[in-house]
Amino acid sequence: MQEQFTCAKFWRCALQVNPVSYNSSYRGKDHGLDEVTYNQALLDKCLELGVDVVGVADHGCVSSIDAMREVIQPHGIVVFPGFEIASNDKTHYVCLFSEETTGQQLERYLGNLDLLDPADGVRPSRLSSEQLIERVDQLGGFIYAAHCTSDSGLLKNRLHHVWTLPKLRSAQIPGPVDDLAGVENDFYRKVLLNKNDDYHRERPIAVINAKDVAKPEDLEQPGATCLIKMTRPNFAAFKVAFLDPGSRIRLNSQQAESPIGKVLRMTVTGGYLDGVRVDFSDHLNTVIGGRGTGKSTLLECLRYALNFLPKGQQALKLHQEIIKENLGRAAGRLELVVMSSAQNGKQYTVSRRYGESPIVRDLDGNVSTLLPRDLLPGIDIYGQNEIYELAQDETSRLQLLDCFLPQDGDYETKSTDVHRRLIENQRKLAKSFSDLDDVKAQVDRLPKLEEQLRGFEGLGIKEKLAKTSLLAREREIANTATKSAQSLRDALADFFDRLPDLDFINDEALEGLPDAAQLIAVRTMLEVVCQGFMGHLAAMTALLDKASGQLTAQQDAWQQAIQGHEAELEKALRALPSAAGKSGQEVGAAYQRVMGEIEHIKPMKIELSTHEGQGNTLKQERRNLLGELSDLRGQRIQALQKAAKRLNRRLKGKLKVEIVPEADRSPLLNFLLECSLEGVKEKRLAWIKEAETISPLSLAQSIQNGSADVQRDWDVTQMVAEALTKLQPSQLMELEALELDHRVDISLNVAHGQADPVFRPLSKLSTGQQCTAILHMLLLENVDPLIMDQPEDNLDNAFIAERIVTELRGAKTSRQFLFATHNANIPVFGDAEWIGVFTTADNQGCLELETQGSIDVPVIRDQVASILEGGRDAFIQRKEKYEF
């Protein structure tokens, strides 16, 4: 296989394929194929099913392996030659060897295994199971327990002392482990899950499917193949996979889907990393290397290409310096190929030259209007020490939780709508209060004016100016009539403005729609209705115009009539006698003024009750709106608390999240300070923070009830209570609708190992512990990648090994990760699918294809040991000192 492989992936392996003669020799059936036809049919089926590795395992016979290998191997399928053999306790095993092993070598291996009759593959070896496992290991081979739950199987034979041998690393079953539930009192399933004390292993056994393949069609059965993760399919990588079966061995029934949002490839042109190309794994990627080799530069370039700026100020400054130093001087260019979660798994290319904005192109090369943020909206990127910086800021820490708590757009919409209606209600109430006060002030003048009028009557003026009150009343009626006509005209204009515009349903809008015919019928109906309304409006306008002309003529006639009455009154005024130093005409004019004011105010008594009724209606509307807002807030709190419970289940034993409703009192405190309460400054408002619970709405209700209620309900001094009761109605209405934010309390389990959990709030944790808590949240499920530079900084090594790496191993199957690290736990125990080893040459960062791969590649393994462990000798010395 000449292809260059740079990251580990799962390869489909058929590890118990038999040669042409097996079917007739051991099953008594003839498939009707000669050796050449059989091998070709086997190759065709492997290519059809995507089988990458074939393990050949006839019973004690290896004579047909070379012929099969000559047909299969040239097509890129790796062949592990081997055989099936029985121990002297009649337990069956499959033994596989390197792809380079010749048929002659296999014959010698069979001789070393003490077969009773080499010509009869069914007859057992003289070796016990323990001896057979040890001998195969010495020969450099790989052995697994064949059909362990069936006749002649290791578990069927109940050989628990063999099962627990460390050098036996794998056992074959016919299908999923769950298919064995309840079989023989659940014995097999519990043993395979390492839950049977008698069969308990320090390292759980690797369970594989490798059904006997007697004819090519048998490969189609799900139990005939399994998935094994390797960088390049070869025997050395194959054996390494069984050292970490939890990460590298999968049954077909366990196959996990790859994450949707991911960075597939990155290419750098120009600058310090000129020529670097990375084809990332879908899962865990780690960058290692000495200081200054380019690890951080790679991550910051990736961030720059996507235009995701750091959240912390120091991190932003460092990012800008790295980009300028390593990309800017050469006007470098970056290119990413990404698969977008937000765009339904579509692939895009993102390119960016230094000093320019990113350009997004689709697969056809067309420049897209989408931005990188539109492609991977949930991506998390954190530079060196950026988590440390965020850990110092409470707001930033809590923002990290936003994506895990319900983003209830419906709540936001409804809440905004209620607040809008409350503001409108407040405006109407304020106008209603103002109008009511104005009318009430006028009506309150009426008794005084009536008393003045009685004083004039004592002078005998009433009889002489009897028409004065009647004429004043006429003027009020005439004025109201004029206003009524104008009100009708305004109403018609407003109605006309509210007629719908039907352009939304014109021919252009309907073009190409599958149900256009039905929508045209809807449009026709609307047009008929609108035309009908227009006709009625035209008729009403014409009616009003005609009436207005008649009204003007009638008012002119009324004006002429009243002018005659006014002439009579003028004559009567001149005939009035003088009184109290005023001429009769002056006394009469004063009488007319008082009478006019009285007639003007009298109708306001009815208007007063109308205003009071409107005010009561608006108050009820406000009570309903406040009730609706309270219900919405309650629903929101309930949704947040449910989300916190779900989050706690996912973080069980690591973090605890608690929602504290309306815990942020600062909006209330700031509001009251802005109200400039008499004699009340911030110290006198300390009760706001000290109260166990507080609600702006309940506080407003207490204020409306009076100072005594305020003192009793909120335990404040009389001075504070009285100052609060002096708030204006508009201020009280603002107070009623005030929103207090909820607080999210985060606590970390600081206990190590299997000790009982000890949770401490984030505010009382060390910086390293705060960073650990943040990492726990960042590792939660997300459809887009997590990219971090040295996540181990400021973290306890035990936390990395016990928690972070454990979470990584589970999360990487559904999310892409990219870490630059100096900590061996992450790439080794996290079993990184891609490890890139950076070096320097000629003041340039280098990442050669040969230094990219997984831990199963010898050169990668040696580099990891050298860079992260201090070399093989240092690692062995530490191991010996620890006495492990």
Phi, psi (rounded to 5 degrees) for 16: -150, 60
Q: Is the pLDDT of residue 121 over 60?
A: no
Does 701 map to a domain? Answer: yes
Q: Is the pLDDT of residue 465 over 70?
A: no
Q: Is the pLDDT of residue 127 over 70?
A: yes
Domain at 182, CATH number:
3.20.20.140
Looking at the fold, whether 235 and 282 belong to one and the same domain comes out as: no
Domain at 269, CATH number:
3.40.50.300
Looking at the fold, whether 375 and 476 belong to one and the same domain comes out as: no
Does 826 map to a domain? Answer: yes
**Which is more confidently placed, 143 or 500?**
143
Looking at the fold, whether 465 and 563 belong to one and the same domain comes out as: yes
Q: What is the pLDDT of residues 431-455, one digit of tens each?
A: 888 878 888 888 888 888 777 777 6
- Crossing angle of helices 103-112/65-72, nearest 10°? 140
Q: What is the pLDDT of residues 581-630, one digit of tens each?
A: 677 667 777 777 877 787 777 777 777 787 788 888 988 999 999 999 99
**Mean pLDDT rounded to a whole number for the chain:** 87
Show which of 723, 741, 759 is a domain's final residue.
741
Does 555 map to a domain? Answer: yes
Q: Which of 25-34, 89-98, 421-430 has the highest mean pLDDT?
A: 89-98
**Which is more confidently placed, 294 or 880?**
294
Looking at the fold, whether 248 and 269 belong to one and the same domain comes out as: no
> Mean of the pLDDT values across residues 624-646?
89
Model confidence at 851, pLDDT cuts 50, 70, 90, reads: very high
C-beta separation of 821 from 287 below 8 A: yes
C-beta separation of 198 from 205 below 8 A: no
* pLDDT for 440: 83
Query: Quick one: tokens of 445?
Result: 């003048």
Looking at the fold, whether 244 and 273 belong to one and the same domain comes out as: no
Looking at the fold, whether 354 and 242 belong to one and the same domain comes out as: no
* pLDDT for 391: 76
Q: Is the pLDDT of residue 30 over 90?
A: no
* pLDDT for 117: 64
Does 65 map to a domain? Answer: yes
Single pTM value for the model: 0.76
Query: Quick one: tokens of 750?
Result: 């600081």
* pLDDT for 653: 85
346 CB burial (10 A radius; 0-12, 13-18, 19+): middle
Q: Is the pLDDT of residue 26 over 60?
A: no
Q: What is the pLDDT of residues 217-257, one digit of tens each?
A: 999 999 999 999 999 999 999 999 999 999 999 999 987 67
Show which of 613, 647, 670 is a domain's final residue.
613
Nearest Cα residue to 596 out of 459, 482, 455, 453? 453
Full domain range(s) for residue 375: 265-379+785-798+815-882
Does 718 map to a domain? Answer: yes
Percent of the chain with pLDDT over 70: 91
* pLDDT for 2: 41
Does 580 map to a domain? Answer: yes
Model confidence at 23, pLDDT cuts 50, 70, 90, reads: low
> Pairing between strand 249-251 and 226-230?
antiparallel
Looking at the fold, whether 247 and 270 belong to one and the same domain comes out as: no
* pLDDT for 116: 64
According to DSSP, residue 234 is labeled: S
Say how many domains are in the chain: 4
* pLDDT for 883: 62
Looking at the fold, whether 242 and 346 belong to one and the same domain comes out as: no
* pLDDT for 386: 85
Query: Quick one: tokens of 491?
Result: 């109403």
> Torsion over CA of 822, 823, 826 and 828, rounded to 10 degrees?
100
Does 386 map to a domain? Answer: no
Show which of 254, 282, 302 is a domain's final residue.
254
Q: How many CA atoms lie within 13 A of 824 on its CB side?
A: 14
Looking at the fold, whether 428 and 565 belong to one and the same domain comes out as: yes
C-beta separation of 97 from 141 below 8 A: yes
Looking at the fold, whether 450 and 546 belong to one and the same domain comes out as: yes
* pLDDT for 769: 82
Q: What is the pLDDT of residues 31-48, one digit of tens each?
A: 678 899 999 999 999 999
Looking at the fold, whether 369 and 413 belong to one and the same domain comes out as: no
> Mean of the pLDDT values across residues 460-482?
74
Contacts of 628 (CB under 8 A, 6+ apart): 418
Q: What is the pLDDT of residues 820-850, one digit of tens each?
A: 998 888 898 899 999 999 999 988 999 999 9
**Which is more confidently placed, 779 or 235?**
235
Q: Is the pLDDT of residue 316 over 60?
A: yes
Q: What is the pLDDT of residues 680-690, one digit of tens each?
A: 899 999 999 88
Looking at the fold, whether 32 and 160 belong to one and the same domain comes out as: yes
> Mean of the pLDDT values across residues 633-642?
87
Q: Is the pLDDT of residue 332 over 90?
A: yes
Does 810 map to a domain? Answer: no
* pLDDT for 767: 80
